[in-house]
Amino acid sequence: MFSARHLRPGADDVVRALLRRKRAVWPLRRRGADLGYAVTVARELPSKEQALARWCASEPVFAPGVLGRGLRPQARAIAASLRLFDQMRAGVSFVDEIERRIGGDLELHFRGSSKDRDNPRELARLHFDAGPDGAIVARDLWSQLVWIAAGTDRSLRIRFGAGPDPADASAPVADLTSGWADLLAARVFPESAAILDCAPLRALLQQLLQRPHRLSERIVYNNCPDGGALFHHDAEPGQLGVVFCQLEGHTAWISLGKRRLAALLSKCGHARNPSRAMAALDHGDLALESVINRDAEFTAALAARGALFVLQAGDAILLPSFSIDAVAWHSVIALGERPSLAHSYGIFPRRADYPMAADRHGG
């Protein structure tokens, strides 16, 4: 099943013909790399059987339109979040904007801000404690504003979490504390309700996971033209996967399971065999990274195997991450002429001490 087809760079006559027929055609450009074009061809939700088969095979599950009408009540919040990112690019204080959004909250307590001088991408990190009725039950909550890529495009992201160091994803954090960090994210960005209150999405997640789960380590993305993320994976201890929801604008995704990616690299002559390709992916081989991120011919080969997706507002893509080898690798390319808005949540097993309020907008 294909979500999008690929056209080579320079296929201008074909592009013009498709545009005359009112087809959606998107240039795939990211930080100087011309990867051709994406043409949307299908937007059907997968069947339950298809979704489960893809998930169990460590392949992405594309869910077009799954958010349905849930975006409509959040239109003002989405517009406000787009303005927030514009203001951050213009140099407005991150502290002042967050204070304006949640300054009167009785459960979230701002404790100060910092900046990591060793991280050129970080603009600011805000620190919070939290608890009901004046009690402090969770400490070391944070919200981190960073450039997605240093010194290139103007894309930004805001990440929420708990613990002393946002760079240490392996540091254990109690479900209770994670829940308060998730609640912080939901109150700073109330459009989270479009995701957290989406019954079809939550039903799909439950069908795939078959266990209680929580949506944590929440990130809000503002991808700008020429921006996006290079190929990577999100496997980390205890994480079951990631759900990415497009709330405004468009992004292109190139995603497939690591084993299929390695097999294709071998077949196309970029590695001696799939095992060598797997090892090279793990160790950041520069030649291989150039192929998967900047080679339009290899992008075409990926698209021919159903790995190219175009997300628009209301769509979600679910990325399993069972282990370092059983994981969906993915690459993101900003589409269109304006910054977009999306939320990305890690999927984790849920235990009894996770606050129920953290899964609801506003608590």
Using alpha carbons, list the distances in angstroms from residue 156 to 65, 146, 298, 314: 25, 6, 28, 21
Q: How many domains does the chain have?
A: 1
Range of the domain at 152: 4-358
pLDDT grade for 174, boundaries at 50, 70 and 90: low
Please report whether residue 15 resides in a domain.
Answer: yes
Confidence of residue 3 (pLDDT cuts 50, 70, 90): confident
Q: Going by C-beta distance under 8 Å and a sequence separation of 6 or more, which residues neighbour residue 122? A: 115, 116, 144, 145, 146
Structure tokens at 203: 């039903």
Q: Is residue 68 part of a domain?
A: yes
pTM of the model: 0.94
Those residues with Cβ within 8 angstroms of residue 78's Cβ, 6 or more apart along the chain or in another chain = 71, 191, 247, 248, 341
Q: Do the domain assignments include residue 270?
A: yes
CA-atom Rg of the chain in angstroms: 20
Share of the chain above pLDDT 70, in %: 94
- Residue 314 structure tokens: 């209301």
pLDDT number for residue 357:
66
Q: Give the number of other Cβ atoms within 10 Å of residue 216's Cβ.
A: 23
pLDDT of residue 84: 97
Average pLDDT on 198-220 reads 96
Provide mean pLDDT across the span 190-211: 96
Q: Which pLDDT score, from 0 to 100, does residue 169 have? A: 53
pLDDT digits (tens, 9 = 90+) for 286-328: 999 999 999 999 999 999 999 999 999 999 999 999 999 999 9
Least confident interval from 8-12, 38-42, 75-79, 308-312: 38-42
Residue 90: which pLDDT band, with cuts at 50, 70 and 90? very high
- The predicted pLDDT at position 363 comes to 39
Q: What is the pLDDT of residue 177?
A: 86
**pLDDT exceeds 80 at position 219:** yes
Res 170: pLDDT: 55
CA distances from 310 to 16, 38, 195, 306, 315 (A): 19, 8, 19, 12, 9
Mean pLDDT for the stretch of residues 210-222: 95
Residue with more model confidence, 172 or 179:
179
| Interval 18-54: pLDDT, tens | 999 999 999 999 999 999 999 999 889 999 999 999 9
Alpha-carbon dihedral sign for residues 237, 243, 249, 255: positive
Given this model, what pLDDT does residue 360 score? 56
Percentage with pLDDT > 90 across the chain = 83
Q: What is the DSSP letter of 223?
A: P
Query: Looking at residue 280, which CATH number applies to its domain?
Result: 2.60.120
Is 363 contained in some domain? no
Confidence of residue 362 (pLDDT cuts 50, 70, 90): very low
d(CA 102, CA 60): 35
Q: What is the pLDDT of residue 173?
A: 64
Least confident of 213-222, 287-296, 350-359: 350-359
Instruction: Work out the number of other CB atoms within 10 angstroms of the CB of residue 48.
Output: 12
Q: How many residues does the structure list for the chain?
A: 363
Among the residue ranges 108-117, 125-134, 164-173, 205-214, the one predicted with the least confidence is 164-173
What band does 10 get if pLDDT is binned at 50, 70 and 90?
very high
Residue 176 predicted with pLDDT over 90: no
Is the pLDDT at 172 greater than 70? The verdict is no
Which residue type, as a one-letter code, is found at position 167? A
Flag whether 127 is in a domain.
yes
For 145-170, the pLDDT digits (tens) are 999 987 678 999 999 999 866 556 55
Q: For 131-139, what is the mean pLDDT?
A: 88
What is the C-alpha to C-alpha distance for residues 184 and 105, in angstroms, rounded to an integer? Answer: 10
Average pLDDT over residues 270-289: 96
What count of other Cβ atoms lies within 10 Å of the Cβ of residue 279? 12
218/204 Cα distance (integer angstroms): 19
Helix count and strand count (H, E) for the chain: 11, 15
**For residue 83, is it within any domain?**
yes
Average pLDDT, whole number, for the chain?
Answer: 93
Cβ distance 268 to 358 under 8 Å?
no
| 346: pLDDT strictly greater than 60 | yes
